Structure 1
Amino acid sequence: MAGTRRRSGCRDHPGSRLPRYGNALKSALATPQRQDHDIGMRRVGRQAVATVDMLDKVVKTRSGDQALRRTFIVDSALAAREARTRAARDRDHGCQVLSVDQAAARLAGGFLQPIPRAHLQDAIQQALADTDIGPLNPVRELPGMTRATTVTLQRAWDADLDLANGDARQRALAALDAAACARLRPSMRRPRDLADAARARLAHAPAVLGPVTVHRVPDLPPIWQPFLTALAEFVTVDWIPGSRPAPDWIPGTAIRLAEPEPATPARTAVSCANARHEAIEALRWARELIAAGHARPQDIAIAAASPADWDVHFQAMSRDANIPLHFAHGRPVVSCGEGQVCAALAEVLLNGLTQDRVRRLVPLLHSQCGRLQDLPSAWTRVLPRDAPLTSARLWRTYLARVTEWPDGYDFSVELIDLVERLELGPEHAGEVGEALLSGVSRTIWRQALAEGPADALDVTLQGLRLPDEVDPAGAIIWGPASTVAGAPRPYTRLIGVTSRAWPRRHGEDPLLPDHVVRQEDLDPVPVPERDERDFRALVTGASTSVVLSHSRRDAEGRQLGPSPLWPDDVPVTYLERARVAEHVMSEADRLLARPDEFRQTALARSTRACWRDWHVDEVTAHDGLIRANHPIVAEALARPQSTGAIQRMLRDPLGYVWRDILRWEEPAADEEPLVLDALSFGSLVHAVFQDATRALEAGPGIANANAEQIAGAARTAVERIAPDWTEKYPVPPALIWRRHLRQAEAAVPAAFAAEFGDGGPGALPDQRSLTEIPFGQTGWRDDEGSGDTPPWDVHASVQIPDTQVTINGRIDRLDLSGDADAAAVVDYKTGKLPKGRIEVRGGKEVQRCLYGFAVTALLGGTPVDARLVYPFADKALTLDDPAATLRTLADYIDLGRQQLLQGLALPGDGTEDKYNDLRFALPGDAKDRYFRDKRGLFRARLGELVDAWSLP
């Protein structure tokens, strides 16, 4: 029964009910109501105040008049959580932990509350739009104006400045202050209003607050000093400075000042290579304390003056180390799923629509915001992977062509609605975010728009933070020194103690600089002084040990020196970045400390073998030696080869394996390029040639057309091709795109003049020209062709004489004489004209020779003229002896095939080409050392194939 009475009494005690009733009524009053409910809400408010006052009077202990309640005043959220945890462990049911402004609001009654920063920032953003702020009007639209105004007003409130009676700038801020406060809830009051209301109700302080303890607060803003002084006349106020110095204004008041806590922690100092190394050493130190049983996670703290430079390292390393780490200053929003969906949305709005950006955004909207729930998991299958899809029009065009939908569900309406919203751009970021986001993501989006303009969303999101969900009561604390100093721990490590970072430099307020308001009045304790005070508090506040750490280099490699606060009497230990630590922080760190164990892993064996093979004077498997007669290689060589594959077989056997067997390829870019690359521009020119040739062949023919007809056909071809090209491929900005189109248009008359003019090879008798003619296509369907009707069986196999290699491809242009007794194949080249004689150019120009042979074989022995046309050099070159060139080329092709079957997939002359897209897979020093040391070995193994690289 006694136990039952204790539980019932504890549950129903007024001291327990009061916070619950007060919070419920406070939440109800804080809910925005319609204007027609104002009278009713005021009545409820009066009744609630009366109820709270009544409960205040009965909160007494059973034995006497001593108040059960007592109040702890702290200066940070971390200190508040630590104090509440301590009170819970001590079963201190009457303890309430508040900041000084919360304590004043509690005493003022009427459910008043301080103005939260987020609400003030929203109100200022709204007020800036329609408030005349005089001399500040020119900067109202600048990025960061809302945040700067918020900080300035809070400083002015804390300093108790009279802005309304100042100069023009101060009066402008006073007008903005009034406009913003008018948009806040009636319960939200400025510090001056709360302080005055609280001082009017000091008689209720014994019942409402009880004895007050100010715990480890460095100082109070000037606005709160008179309030606390007056409060000490009614209740006991104890100021416990801890390891911090006591403020100068306390002596002479009724506030009882406790003596500083004496502490002589063991001090050590270390020097690390850089910021990342400091984070590694900090977690090693923490794990050593925990593993040795000296400390629990809740006994350890790591602090920096400004922790931003280390956040990314600690976030990644704490996961790898599996050590609970509480970010006292909050975690970056972009590190969580809710922030990632905001970042993905901002990327699309700021940088434009692309397929990759939408592919990234849609799953995040699905998982974080519950949008697009009806989309099947295979929704991306309906999109052509290489299409840019850079506008809503292109999305509508492609989705309209889809005939088979995953799961039989047509979801084009949802996708088109999404991309149409995304196409609105940053000007409509607010409405797009409200429509697509929800929950925490929407809150983050609103806060980012309040912090700065929509055009700066990518920067603003990186600076936002969310409260850390890791409970500090069972975790290591990581955060700014000003926060950690209010809740010190026995084992503390200070990092970044360099001359540039600790103490930080003091700067003027951006809206109230020193020539307007003295910074001593606006900020009585400057930043450098605060940093020095926090440093001293942390160094002397750790009851057991403190470690000082600084970096020798910053992120840009500049040398750093220790802070002027660095103690001279503590010897410094220099730690190497690659040192083997006695205690490690993660599995990777453990393997680094145990090289013998790491050597046994498959990754280490493979890496070590690769590194050794790249440096020994012999040809190894990591250079390209593979198993002889490898079934995958044999299967690939049995397939029809493109002319590009033949070129790689001759000049780059290793590249042939990578591209044509392993199917490695460069990722296709779907963003708009600044200019078209050489390959894309060449494809554009070929498309214009194809369209213009067809148009001319429908009339006089390309050999008989005059200059005006050719120019008109080229112009018409560009007009037809440009819209279709923009739908299929990424194009540069409009001005550069038009320049590319003019160049492609000019290439047509120049090429035909070089080919059919004086000095050119000329036209065939009664010539007719065909474009995009396929051959050797085993799986070809008649509806796949985009060119003219082929004069042969497209499925017929074309085998190079005296080899087992078959080829396939598409001929850019095929010219046939009227009686089909003569033919010509034409290959357009948009690059520069090489110097010297051009036959196969060391294996670079095999296409026209192989295409010429294919035409001869498919037409039953018709002689073929193989031509190279350089439109921008006004040159048309013919192959002097196609048969002899083919015989020579066939010998080398067969040799290349045999060597691949023998396992010699080695780097060749083409591997060293600076335009080789797969050079990233080669050693990092390939150009400076690898090829220099091993080129001779490769050529010796490739034997006669090397001679092909010197062919004219």
Structure 2
Amino acid sequence: MKRHTVIVQGTLAFGMQRAAAAREGDHGRDVSTLPLLGARLVGGFARPADYATLVPIVARALSELAFEELEPVKTRPGMARAVLASLARIWAADIQFDDLRYASARLSDLGRIEAYLHRHLPIGALLPRDLCDRAIAGVAHARATVGNLYFHRLISIDPVWRPLIKALAAVVEITWDAPGTRDRSWFPGTIVPTTSPPSQDLICDVCADPRAEVVEALRWARELLSDGTTQASDIAITSADLGAWDDHMLVLAADAELPIHFASGVSALSTRAGQSCAALADVMINGLSQDRVRRLSLLSPYLSEALPADWMKGIPTEAGLFKPDHWASSFEPLSRSDGSSIAATLMPVLRDLDVGPQAAVRLGETLLRGKSLGLWQEALRLGPAAAIEMTLTSLRIADESDPANNVVWARAADLVGVPRKHMRLIGLSSRSWPRSDGVDPLLPDHVLSERDLADLPRLERDRLAFEVLVSHPDSSVALSRSRRSADGAFLARSALLQRKVTERSLSRTRTPEHAFSEGDRLLARIDDALSLPRIQSVMSCWTDWTRRLDPTPHDGGYRKDHPAVARALNTPQSATSLRRMLRDPLGFVWLRALGMTAPELAVEPLQFDPITFGELVHELLRLAIERIEPIPSLVGATPEEIDNALGAAARDIAERWPLTQAVPPRLLWLDTIDEARRRARRGLTIDERFGPGTRSFSEIPFGNPKSPAERSDPWDERQEVVIGQSGLRLKGRIDRVDVKPDRRSVRISDYKTGTTPRNLRDVILGGGAEVQRALYAIAIKQLIPQASAVIARLIYLDTMGPAANLDGDVLERAEDTLLRFIDIAVEGLRSGVAYPGPDAFAGYNDLRIALPAALDRYRGRKEEGFNAAQQRLVPLWDEP
């Protein structure tokens, strides 16, 4: 066996050369890179100092050393990585820090960091220049240790390694298969001449955007694989920089189920281990909240094992839980046998999470395992804990698939070392290929000239990679570029396409000759797609929505006496559900019969939405009235006593609500309470006294037969309230009830925190939108049979205007009208007539997402048909 070594560049070429040696049975072939070759010649436990080893040492050097120019910026995020990148370029260019030609304060600072690295590197880890110098000392043993050298398709060799190569040339034979036409007169060995085939006529596909380019590339790969002779190992897709296409390639390749190897690795965040790290970073950086902790409990290996699957059962989803104390309080009322063990497991973790980035190391060791822990530790080595969210996005994981039997997705610089029979070069726009030479942020031209720093600038390297790939013998090459970037900017063609290249425009919606996935195939073969039941259903729905004027099954409606609707009607109804029944029958079916709701996990708001603010005001009113009644009573209380009751209620809410609700930050929260307190005071002091001895009650429930509490004052809340000929059961909660001592006169108050309408005095039923006063009056007559005089009023708390009262004949007519239309609505629901009403198209309707997207056109096309189908209900919508 004759030993020889093949020198390659990049992990792709490394893996492919090892596979080639295995196929050919070449047991004497060793595959190496230049740093590994140097380490082999040094012997012992010598190794090149890798990136993960150097970054934390550079970070310590920045914190411990004093600098002349870098001092003001040494604590900036990402500074360690920027310094290491500049050092790597200096090392590659073989520039000495004591060279008088390059003397400057900036290089002096970098020289101090290099000296620090020499003192603190682990045993055996060597910097490139030290590795080269020590390898030269062991060149005498090169024939036995490495044998003859063959440099396989390296475009260039950094100056730092050239002294070693010259020393090796005196001991072993050195050959360089050097693609391209650069000047290599310094090389002491044999250069294998490259022959360029006649230039082939190239075709460049012009696609819509980066995603469309990836789609066309996968279609091209599928077409090649379909001929029965081309192997996946014959195909490569490449670009100068993979950034704009990598995410699309990852998603679409999985959809296509094509064997694709990601030579540069896959994003760590695309894996479960990466998502575990991301969930932990989200809580650690952004603070505690219920949704963040829920997500972490699902992804953390420790928490998913230590906690039961339903550990959040009993904790309301609307609770914000932004502090450890909030969590501790939420665990106390859990009536579960494992409640204490859940708190014992989770509370130490929550307290560490509340500490923030300072506890990053401890949190990773506690909550993560295996690959996720490795990624977390790698991210902490590469950057500060406070910036770990950004660091995680830059981490990549090596693709475990073998490039030797897969289609390769790789950078052009890597593919130059292992060109394939079929190659597709994408991203050939003016911005992407070739890329302009970047300016080193720490080594601008006035410090160190780019000509001295870079043996082969990035612009020239990209040009050379393109020429090498398109001129490779025995290879067919396809090209593509995008018209627009991902953000819509226009992209011009690359300057590399000045040679004879024919452009072919490909529409995003074209019918491809070869589809890359099942979805792509169905788009290409309309007849196949239309034969699928789900597509037939979609097409039928679209036709019914857009072409027919009359109501169809896709617009609503169902069979008569549907059991789901019957169950919904047999449950107690609230004023809100009855309003939806009257003004949006289809929405009533979706919500009450089909249960189309989703849990809303709380996030910390800057201000309350109108509904939550209304709940806050109502809670203040309830607590204040409970403190005033029965002594001194609301009718007998002085303004000072009312203010004291509201103050006590506000303090109670300020402490209790954060445990059950998502509230704004503290200062905004206190300001919100003050505004709610102001409006609540208006609700308690707006009107004249109802009479001596009157009792006032706030937030009084009724019609709830399953309630465990029996309330006899002013009524038993379990007593059923039945309304209309349809026999619907009514339940609800009245904001305020004033009852005279003889119980013959009752006044109902419904508080509103929104903006007062201009025509408030004229509103009775408001087209079915304002039903509370009439409904609650009907309920009062059943709950308090003695009541002969009922006043139902509506109070808006944003102004000092008078309340809007309904009583006497006006109230009775409103009750009769409302009951008649409720019976009509129930009859329609039982018979299967349920279509969108006026509220279905309102901006506040959260069920609009289930309606067609072009809602205005849909309403204009269908409204007449909907009104005809629900003609008995339509007159309600015009009621004052």
Same fold (TM > 0.5): yes
Deviations 1:476-524 (A, max 9, x none): 1102111111111110000111111111121211111111111111123
Determine the structure 2 residue equivalent to 1:135: 69
Q: Tell me the SS of whatever aligns to 1:434.
A: helix
Q: CA deviation at 1:409?
A: 8.0
1:843 counterpart (768, 783, 796)? 768
Determine the structure 2 residue equivalent to 1:168: 105
Determine the structure 1 residue equivalent to 2:87: 153
Deviations 1:219-257 (A, max 9, x none): 11111122212211211000101xx22542x33653101
Indicate whether 1:798 and 2:721 are aligned.
yes
1:900 counterpart (822, 829, 833)? 829
Determine the structure 2 residue equivalent to 1:653: 585
Deviations 1:807-844 (A, max 9, x none): 11111211111221211111110001112112121112
Contact 2:154 2:417 in 1 (8 A): yes
2:780 counterpart (838, 842, 855)? 855
Q: Structure 2 vs 1, CA of residues 930 and 588 (structure 1 numbering), >3 Å: closer, same or farther?
A: same
Determine the structure 1 residue equivalent to 2:512: 581
- Show the 5 A alignment for 1:332-351: 332-351=267-286
Determine the structure 2 residue equivalent to 1:483: 414
Gap regions ≥5 residues in structure 2: none
- Show the 5 A alignment for 1:523-672: 523-541=454-472, 543-615=474-546, 616-672=548-604
- Show the 5 A alignment for 1:71-470: 71-164=5-98, 166-241=103-178, 244-248=179-183, 250-251=184-185, 253-263=187-197, 267-366=202-301, 370=302, 373-405=305-337, 410-470=341-401
Quick one: which amino acid aligns to residue 123 of structure 1? Answer: I
Q: Structure 2 vs 1, CA of residues 291 and 347 (structure 1 numbering), >3 Å: closer, same or farther?
A: same
Indicate whether 1:822 and 2:745 are aligned.
yes
Q: CA deviation at 1:441?
A: 1.7
Determine the structure 1 residue equivalent to 2:878: 950
Contact 1:333 1:464 in 2 (8 A): yes
Q: Structure 2 vs 1, CA of residues 218 and 930 (structure 1 numbering), >3 Å: closer, same or farther?
A: same
- Show the 5 A alignment for 1:15-30: none
Q: CA deviation at 1:155?
A: 0.7
Q: CA deviation at 1:122?
A: 2.2
Deviates more, 1:104-113 or 1:373-382: 373-382
Q: CA deviation at 1:440?
A: 2.2
Q: Structure 2 vs 1, CA of residues 352 and 304 (structure 1 numbering), >3 Å: closer, same or farther?
A: same
Quick one: which amino acid aligns to residue 830 of structure 1? Answer: T
Aligned residue pairs total 869
Indicate whether 1:509 and 2:440 are aligned.
yes
What TM-score does the superposition give when structure 2 sets the normalisation length? 0.96
Deviations 1:708-762 (A, max 9, x none): 2222221111011111111101011222212210111111222233223xxxxx4
Deviations 1:448-472 (A, max 9, x none): 2233333332222112101111110
Q: CA deviation at 1:322?
A: 1.4
Q: CA deviation at 1:266?
A: 6.5
Contact 1:751 1:874 in 2 (8 A): no
Output the CA distance in 2 between the equivalents of 1:110 and 1:477. 36
Question: How many percent identity over aligned positions?
Answer: 39
1:913 counterpart (842, 858, 864)? 842
Please give the root-mean-square deviation of Cα atoms over the aligned residues, in Å. Answer: 1.8
Determine the structure 2 residue equivalent to 1:883: 812
Output the CA distance in 2 between the equivalents of 1:254 and 1:636. 89
Quick one: which amino acid aligns to residue 26 of structure 2? Answer: D
Quick one: which amino acid aligns to residue 843 of structure 1? Answer: G
Contact 1:266 1:544 in 2 (8 A): no
Output the CA distance in 2 between the equivalents of 1:442 and 1:376. 22
Determine the structure 2 residue equivalent to 1:776: 703
Q: CA deviation at 1:334?
A: 0.5
Contact 1:643 1:850 in 2 (8 A): yes
Output the CA distance in 1 between the equivalents of 2:713 and 2:20. 87
Contact 1:647 1:844 in 2 (8 A): yes
Quick one: which amino acid aligns to residue 357 of structure 1? Answer: R
- Give the structure, 1 or 2, with the largest relative contact order (CA under 8 Å, sep 6 or more): 2
Determine the structure 2 residue equivalent to 1:10: none
Quick one: which amino acid aligns to residue 463 of structure 2? Answer: E
Q: CA deviation at 1:378?
A: 2.9
Q: Tell me the SS of whatever aligns to 2:545.
A: helix
Q: CA deviation at 1:418?
A: 1.9
Contact 1:266 1:545 in 2 (8 A): no
Output the CA distance in 2 between the equivalents of 1:80 and 1:98. 7
Q: Tell me the SS of whatever aligns to 2:292.
A: helix
Determine the structure 2 residue equivalent to 1:924: 853
Determine the structure 2 residue equivalent to 1:866: 792
Q: Tell me the SS of whatever aligns to 2:305.
A: coil
Contact 2:202 2:502 in 1 (8 A): no
Q: Tell me the SS of whatever aligns to 2:700.
A: strand
Q: CA deviation at 1:313?
A: 1.3
Q: CA deviation at 1:285?
A: 0.9
Output the CA distance in 2 between the equivalents of 1:272 and 1:708. 74
Contact 1:277 1:577 in 2 (8 A): yes
Contact 1:753 1:874 in 2 (8 A): no
Quick one: which amino acid aligns to residue 584 of structure 1? Answer: A
Q: CA deviation at 1:175?
A: 1.1
Output the CA distance in 1 between the equivalents of 2:455 and 2:806. 87
What TM-score does the superposition give when structure 1 sets the normalisation length? 0.89
2:691 counterpart (759, 764, 786)? 764
Q: Structure 2 vs 1, CA of residues 755 and 664 (structure 1 numbering), >3 Å: closer, same or farther?
A: farther
Output the CA distance in 2 between the equivalents of 1:454 and 1:720. 38
Q: CA deviation at 1:371?
A: 5.1
Q: CA deviation at 1:806?
A: 2.0
Quick one: which amino acid aligns to residue 879 of structure 2? Answer: L
Gap regions ≥5 residues in structure 1: 1-60, 62-67, 757-761
Quick one: which amino acid aligns to residue 919 of structure 1? Answer: R
Output the CA distance in 2 between the equivalents of 1:898 and 1:605. 33
Indicate whether 1:939 and 2:874 are aligned.
no
Contact 1:672 1:732 in 2 (8 A): yes
Q: CA deviation at 1:858?
A: 1.5
Output the CA distance in 2 between the equivalents of 1:309 and 1:334. 16
Contact 1:764 1:823 in 2 (8 A): no
Deviates more, 1:432-441 or 1:910-919: 432-441
Deviations 1:24-55 (A, max 9, x none): xxxxxxxxxxxxxxxxxxxxxxxxxxxxxxxx
Q: Structure 2 vs 1, CA of residues 434 and 520 (structure 1 numbering), >3 Å: closer, same or farther?
A: farther
Output the CA distance in 2 between the equivalents of 1:141 and 1:253. 43
Contact 2:202 2:500 in 1 (8 A): no
Q: Structure 2 vs 1, CA of residues 266 and 478 (structure 1 numbering), >3 Å: closer, same or farther?
A: farther
Output the CA distance in 1 between the equivalents of 2:643 and 2:327. 34
